[in-house]
Chain A
Amino acid sequence: MAKLLEVKNLQTQFLTSAGVVRAVDGVSYDVDEGETVALVGESGCGKSVSALSIMRLVAEPAGRIVGGEIVFKGRDLLKLSEEEMRDVRGRDIAMIFQEPMTSLNPVLTIGRQLTEGLEIHLGMGPAAASARAIELLGLVGIPDPARRLAQYPHQFSGGMRQRMMVAMALGCNPALILADEPTTALDVTIQAQVLELLQDLSRRLGVAMLIITHNLGVVARYADRVNVMYAGRIIERGTAAEIYADPRHPYTLGLLRSVPRLDEPIRAKLDPIEGQPPDLSRLPPGCAFAPRCAYRVERCTEVPPLAACGAAGHMSACWVSASLAKEPVA
C-alpha cells in the first residue's frame, strides 16, 4: 500500500529554564493509507508531542520543531506556509484530543463547533453544513442528532463529547486521524465503545489512524502496526502480533509484563519496570533505558544502540535484542 504519512527523523524540542528538552529526538515512522498505527509509551515519552508536530501545533515559542521531515501525501508539512498548513488541518488530517471535557468550547453550541470546519474547508452554506452535522452525529451514534445540534457541551456526557469529537474529526473526510489518548479520560465501558466506533468508522470510510496511547490493551486490539517510544525515540517497531508474541526490547517486554492479566491464575504481584523515565533534558550517552534495564551490558551505557531490523521489518533498538527472543512474555 502507498505511504500516506512518513515521519523522518523528527526532532522537536522545548526550551525550558532547565535547558533544552528533547521531547522528540529523531523519530521516524510511517502510516499507510487506511491503516491503524499505534504510538505507545508512558507519559512524557514524547508521543503526544510527535502528533502535535505533525499538525504543527506545538506550543510556540517554547516548543519548536528543529529537524526532520513530515511527508504527507508527498508534501513535506514542515515546509508549508502557515496558510497552507491551515488547509491541511481539519481537512486532510484531523485530530482527536485526550480530554473531551476541556477540548470542546463551553460557550458554543455543538452545531456551531461541528459546522465551522465544514463551512471553512468544504465551503458549505449553513443549511448544508447543518444537514451534514446531523448526519455526522448520527454516524457516531448520538441519538436524536437534530435536537442535539442546539445543545452545549456541558449537556453532553464524557462519552458523548468524545463521540462528538470523532464526528468533528470525520467532518471533512480526512485521510488521516490523529487520536491522542482518545479514551484515557473515559470510563472503561465507554472506552471500548468509542474505540470500536473509531475502528469501525476508519475501516468503513478508509481513514488511516495514528492512535497514541499508553494502553497496551488498546494497541493489541485495534492497531495494525505498533511503534514503542521511550525517552523521545522509537525503540521498537513491528506488527501488533510481533510486538506481543516476540518483543525484542527490554522496555517492551517490561511493559507487557506489567499489565495485569485477568485470564491467568492470581499471581503474587505485578512486575513493574523499576526506576523512573529519564530527564529529557539530560539524557545519558548510551541507551536511555539502560539505567532501568535488567539485560544491560557494558556497551549499553556508552553507545546508543542502532535500530536492528529483524524479520519483515520488526525493528528493535537494543544491543541484546537477539538474546531476548527466548524470554517468556508473561
Chain B
Amino acid sequence: MTHYILKRFLLMFPTLFGVAVLIFLLLRVVPGDIVEVRFMAQGQYSSEAVMAIERAKLGLDKPLWQQFTTWMWGLLHLDFGVSMWTGAPITEELKLRFELSLQLAIMATVVATLLAIPLGILAAVKQDTWIDYAVRVFSIAGLAMPSFWLGILMILAMLIIFKWLPPMVFTSFWVNPWENLAQLIWPALAVGYRYSAVATRMMRSAMLEVLREDYIRTARAKGLWLKLILSRHALKNAMLPVITVIGLEFAFLMGGLVVTEQVFSLNGLGMLFVEAISHRDYTLTQALVLIVASVFIFVNFATDIAYAWLDPRIRYR
C-alpha cells in the first residue's frame, strides 16, 4: 500500500515536468506574440526595431532553452514571475482567483455528490419505474441545460421575485463566510446540477451493473436486507467509476468555467485563462496551465488512492 502510494506520488513530478515543457513550446508555436498583440491593440504601426526592443525587455530575444531554464528556476522557488501584459507578480494575481475557483469547485462537487449518489442508487434499485424515469429526466435536463444559462435564470428569478442580488465582490470565506457563501452558493448550484447529472447517470449504470453480479445474488441468498446489500455489498464496487467521473469533473471546474464565471461576475481562473491566451501573455498562461495541470494530476493521484482504499485487489498488488 505505502509502496503503491509512494509510486503514484513520485509519478506526479515527471508528468508535471512534461506538461511544463509542452506548454512552453506550444505557446511559442502559436502565431503572434505579446509584443505584436499589444501594438496591434494600440492600432500603431511599429518598426521591427521597436518591436525587437520590446521583446528584449521581456526576455523573448534569448534562446528558448535559456527562457525555459529561467522559468524553471523561478518555479523551483515557487515564483511564477511577472505577467508580461500587466507586469504584476503572477502569484499575487492568482492567489484570490485560485481560492475562488477552488472553493467553487469544492462546493459544486459537494452539491453534485449529494445529489448524484442517492439519486443514482435510487434509480438503479427502482429501475424502469416512475422513480427511475423521474431521475433520468432530471439528469438529462441537467446535461441539456448549460450551467451559465441556468445561472442567468437563477439571477433573474432572485431579482424579479425576491428583489435581491447576490453580492458581486468576492469575499474570502475566512473573512466573512456568510457573505462568501451568499455569493458562491448560486454558481455552485448551477454548476453542481450539470455536474451531478453526469455523476448520477454513472452511479445508476454502475449500480445496475453491480446488482447483476453473482456476489449480490450470494448476499441475497444469505438473507441480508436490501439496505445492507446496497450499502455493504454494492456501493463500494459501484463507486469506482463514479469516483473517476467526480475527480475529472472537479479538475475541469478549476479552469473551465469561463462563461459561468462571467454570468455571476466571478473573478476565477477561467476568465483569466482566456485573457492570458488572447494577450499571448506567456508567463501568465504557463502559470495557469501548470496550476490546472497540477490540479488534474493531484486529483488523479487522489482517485488512485481512493481506488486502492475501495478495492483490495489494487491495494495488494
User: Could you list which residues of chain A lie within 8 angstroms of chain B, going by C-beta atoms?
Assistant: 55, 57, 86-91, 94-95, 97, 99, 102-109, 112, 116-117, 120-121, 152, 154-155, 165, 168
Contacts and interface: CB of A to CB of B under 8 A. Distances in A.
Given A89-B222, A91-B223, A152 B215 contact: no
Contact of B218 (A105, A107, A121): A105
B223 A88 contact: yes
B316 A107 contact: no
Contact of A86 (B217, B223, B232): B223
Contact of A102 (B213, B219, B222): B213
Interface stretch (B76-84, B172-180, B193-201, B306-314): B306-314
A97 B213 CA distance: 12
A107 B221 contact: no
6 contacts: A94-B221, A106-B237, A108-B233, A108-B236, A117-B222, A120-B228
Contacts of A103: 214-215, 217-218
A31 B218 CA distance: 23
B220 interface: yes
B236 A107 contact: yes
Interface string B8-48: 00000000000000000000000000000000000000000
A90 B218 CA distance: 10
- Chain B interface, DSSP helix/strand/loop, else mixed: helix
A152 B221 contact: no
Contacts of B65: none
Most buried by A among B228, B312, B313: B312
B217 A106 contact: no
A94 B224 CA distance: 12
Given A99-B214, A105-B215, A152-B312, A116 B221 contact: no
A55 B310 CA distance: 31
B311 to A, nearest CB: 6
Contacts of B313: 106, 152, 154
Interface string B119-157: 000000000000000000000000000000000000000
B162 interface: no
Interface in B223-263: 223-225, 228, 232-233, 236-237
A81 to B, nearest CB: 13
Given A120-B228, A152-B312, A165-B218, 10 more contacts: A89-B223, A94-B221, A95-B221, A103-B215, A103-B218, A105-B233, A106-B313, A116-B224, A117-B222, A154-B316
A120 B224 contact: yes
A113 to B, nearest CB: 8
Nearest to B237: A107
Contacts, number: 78
B312 A55 contact: no
Nearest to A165: B218
A62 to B, nearest CB: 11
Contacts of B310: 107
A87 B224 CA distance: 9
B225 A107 contact: no
A109 B316 CA distance: 13
Given A86-B223, A117-B223, A121-B223, A104 B218 contact: yes
B219 to A, nearest CB: 7
A95 B218 CA distance: 8
Contacts of A102: 213-215
B297 to A, nearest CB: 26
Q: Please name the 8 residue pairs, one residue from A and one from B, whose CB atoms are nearest each other, closest first.
A: A90-B223, A89-B223, A90-B222, A102-B214, A105-B215, A152-B312, A95-B221, A103-B214
Interface in B93-115: none
Contacts of A57: 217, 220-221
Given A106-B311, A107-B311, A152-B313, A116 B215 contact: no
Contact of B316 (A86, A90, A112, A155): A155
Contacts of B233: 105, 108
B225 A86 contact: yes
Contacts of B228: 116, 120
Nearest to B221: A95
Contacts of B312: 106-107, 109, 152, 154
A95 B225 CA distance: 17
Most buried by B among A55, A102, A105, A155: A105
Contacts of A154: 312-313, 316
A32 to B, nearest CB: 23
A97 B214 contact: yes
A103 B233 CA distance: 12
A108 B313 CA distance: 11
Contacts of B224: 86, 90, 116-117, 120
A92 to B, nearest CB: 9
Nearest to B239: A107
B221 A90 contact: yes
Nearest to A152: B312
Given A105-B237, A152-B312, A168 B222 contact: yes
Contacts of B222: 89-90, 94, 116-117, 120, 168
Given A108-B233, A152-B316, A55 B221 contact: yes
B207 to A, nearest CB: 14
Contacts of A120: 222-224, 228
Nearest to B216: A105
B219 A105 contact: yes
Contacts of A86: 223-225
